Amino acid sequence: MRWSAGDRSNIEDARGGGGFGFRGGAVPIGLGGVVLLALLSWATGTNFLSLLNPSTSDDSTTTVGRSAPVSSSPAEEREVDFVDAVMKDVQSTWTTLLPRTYQPTRVVLFRDGIDSACGLAESATGPFYCPQDGRVYLDLGFFQELSDRFGAPGEFARAYVIAHEVGHHVQRLTGIERQVRAAQQDNPSAANALSVRLELQADCFAGVWGHAASQPGRAAKGEVELETGDVEQGLRAAAAIGDDRLQRMSTGRVMPDRFTHGTSEQRVEWFRRGLTSGSPDACNTFGSGATH
């Protein structure tokens, strides 16, 4: 990938926050308890960490800023610049595609754990989007895990993850996320299946940005531009974090009734659809038979 460092206006730096915080009423537990809940969340697809901090927040925006000096390395600071550059480019693409709808957001960078508007989260849960405050949350350590543990190295693999989370932001702004949550409440037995469709659409939306980034001549304008081999990196990343593969890694067996993000094959398929088409219209994962 070719990219240029910017002014970090797409970043909220909470790396100096000192780990977990607890909102009113939440009961702190020891590190061992947090690790246990994180492992259960990983294995089952259910976020047990949210039980530590049930949030009653509405959709108002909450700002998470730097709360303490950050001790960092030049390599980590380059990763911060990378995240900022990708966020800027992804959001520029969506502003062009949805000029009347898209509203910019930011990535909240943290270490180890953070108390978001969606509840307590720690690095083991991976990157996530919080609809309650409209922010993407990311521990930069996940990038190394993506490479070492999941076998998906490379900058575009990392960019795919960021673009996927911004895809959830698009779903919130367009009302898709709200409609899906309402349908899940109306039909709890379909909650996991609807979650899979929501996640696969976010994969497709990530591919839509990838299509834009693959156009030649972008780097000369200060935009992100893909290079030879980048698309393959993104596809490997999509395959690496499929529910079936993650379950097999964590428990030794596959439990389709607990899928929340889709199989490796499904994630690759929908990411590729976005990459090929460059159009959000190609990302209707809610159509009949769309996930089969």
Q: pLDDT tens for residues 147-157?
A: 888 888 899 99
Q: Side chain identity at 7, as an amino acid letter?
A: D
User: Which pTM value belongs to this model?
Assistant: 0.80
29's tokens:
């537990």
Rounded to an integer, what distance in angstroms lies between the CA atom of residue 83 and that of residue 105? 13
Q: What are phi and psi of 243, to 5 degrees?
A: -55, -45
CA distance to 4, 31, 40, 125, 271, per residue, from 37 (Å): 39, 10, 5, 10, 30
Give the DSSP H/E element, type plus range, for residue 116.
strand 113-116
Q: Tens digit of pLDDT for each residue in 148-186?
A: 888 888 999 999 999 999 999 999 999 999 999 999 999
Average pLDDT score over residue span 122-148:
91
User: Would you say residue 20 has pLDDT above 90?
Assistant: no
Q: Which residues contact 145 (CB under 8 A, 6 or more apart)?
A: none
Confidence tier at 49 by pLDDT (50, 70, 90): low
| Interhelix angle 191-213/230-240, nearest 10 degrees | 170
Round to whole Å and give the CA distance between 211 and 202.
14
Residue 85 contacts by C-beta under 8 Å, 6 or more apart in sequence? Answer: 3, 4, 5, 6, 224
**Would you say residue 283 has pLDDT above 80?**
yes
pLDDT single digits (tens) 55-83 = 433 443 344 444 456 788 999 999 999 99
**Over the stretch 222-280, which tens digit does the pLDDT of each residue have?**
999 999 999 888 888 887 767 766 677 677 776 766 667 878 889 999 999 999 999 99
pLDDT of residue 69: 67
131, 132, 150: which is closest to 142 by C-alpha?
150
What is the β-pairing status of strands 107-109 and 11-13?
Answer: parallel
Q: Which stretch, 4-13, 120-129, 279-288, has highest mean pLDDT?
A: 4-13
What mean pLDDT do residues 104-109 have?
97
**What is the mean predicted confidence (pLDDT) over 99-111?**
96
